[in-house]
Amino acid sequence: MKVLAAPGSLKGVLPAPAAADALARGLRNGGAEAVTQPVADGGDGTLDVLERALGGKCLSATISAPLGGEVDARWLVVGETAYVESAAALGFHTVDRLDPVRATSRGLGELLLAAVSGGARELVVCLGGTVTVDGGAGMREVFPELPVPTRAVCDVSSALLDAVYVFAAQKGAEPGQLDELAERLRGLPDVPGSGAAGGLGGAFAALGAQLVPGAPFMLDTIGFDPGGYDLVVTGEGAVDATTFAGKAPGEVKRRCDEAGVRCELFSARDDFSGDSANAVSDLEEYGAGLARAL
């Protein structure tokens, strides 16, 4: 049996490439022939997936952290295209507390400026996984226009105010702060994807960037093709309704169904008994069990 290991990240536990490697080891231990192709949708961990698939060169810069201080963030250069991940500059790992009222996206603007100054002729900005809800105001202070063609890859197709009333609580917003945060987004274009990354989607739309759905774009970019495999295995930390509303594993399942290829979808939260420290061994055991059952 030829199997493709194509998981997304296990958020906060394992990046997608590490998850794919562990899953493939288990599949091989169970007797299957396994190939890895980790997937992403524009959220945190997207750069790791792009680097695995495309190669290229990673560069880094020291930029402003969302709540003060500095953080090192990297971007990927492939030819004349710079791939920039908003979560690298504004992700949960960049802060020691959550405060969406104070958090600024300025660091992303500095990272984009560094990428363009380094010679990029095209920008692909992956939006998702940020602690900010400032509608890109901080980013635009230092990066007020797009000097090169830019695509904004959105991990969700949400409307603008979903950045506040759906997602801001995950970033530490209190109920009494929501209207204040919503006011910051006033005047930004309300198009599919504009609510991504705390309204950064709307900010890029206002600047003239092309907003594209993350999972289809990413799978096309990395050359995902289930044809020729007997089984594709995908999954993420927690499979729920959002998995089929724009997440990469949901798009993998959809494309497998279209191609008539069997697809197994796992949820680490539901299918693995171990805690995060045991994620690698859990994936290996899961893969081996799947292979033996084929």
Query: In this structure, is residue 54 part of a structural domain?
Result: yes
d(CA 34, CA 85): 29
What pLDDT is attached to residue 276? 61
**E strand residue ranges, 89-147:** 122-127
Structural domain containing residue 157: 46-215
Residues 292/286, Cβ–Cβ less than 8 Å: no
CA distances from 157 to 92, 137, 138 (A): 21, 20, 22
Please tell me whether residue 277 adopts helix, strand or coil conformation.
helix
Regarding whether 71 and 126 lie in a shared domain, the answer is yes
Same domain, 169 and 78: yes
Same-domain status, 100 and 149: yes
Q: Which residues of the chain have pLDDT under 70?
A: 274-277
Decide which of 187, 215, 243 is a domain's last residue: 215
Classify residue 168: in a domain, yes or no.
yes
Nearest of 19, 14, 13 to residue 286 by alpha carbon: 19
Q: Are residues 109 and 179 in the same domain?
A: yes
Same domain, 208 and 63: yes
**What CATH number does residue 265 fall under?**
3.40.50.10350
Residue ranges in 194-260 assigned as alpha helix (H)? 200-207, 214-222, 248-259
- Model pTM score: 0.94
Question: In terms of domains, do 137 and 206 share one?
Answer: yes
Question: Kind and range of the H or E element at 24?
Answer: helix 16-29
Instruction: Give yes or no: residues 146 and 253 share one domain.
Output: no
Task: Give the whole-number percent of the chain exceeding pLDDT 70.
Answer: 98
Question: Last residue of some domain: 215, 250, 268?
Answer: 215
pLDDT score, position 224: 97
Same structural domain for residues 31 and 166?
A: no
Torsion, Cα of 72, 54, 150, 178 (10° steps): -50
Domain harbouring 88, CATH code: 3.90.1510.10
Query: Are 20 and 151 members of one domain?
Result: no
| Nearest CA-CA partner of 238 in 274, 266, 278, 267 | 267
The answer to whether residues 189 and 118 belong to one domain is yes
Question: How high is the pLDDT of residue 275?
Answer: 66
Asked whether 27 and 287 are in contact (CB, 8 A), the reply is yes
- Split into its structural domains, the chain has a count of 2
Sign of the alpha-carbon dihedral angle for 176, 177, 181, 183: positive
pLDDT at 124: 98
CA-wise closest residue to 205 among 186, 184, 191:
191
Task: Mark whether 69 and 30 lie in a shared domain.
Answer: no
Residues 179 and 119 in one domain: yes
Domain contains 255: yes
Q: What's the pLDDT score for residue 277?
A: 65
Among 215, 235, 267, residue at a domain's last position: 215
Residue 221 lies in a domain: no
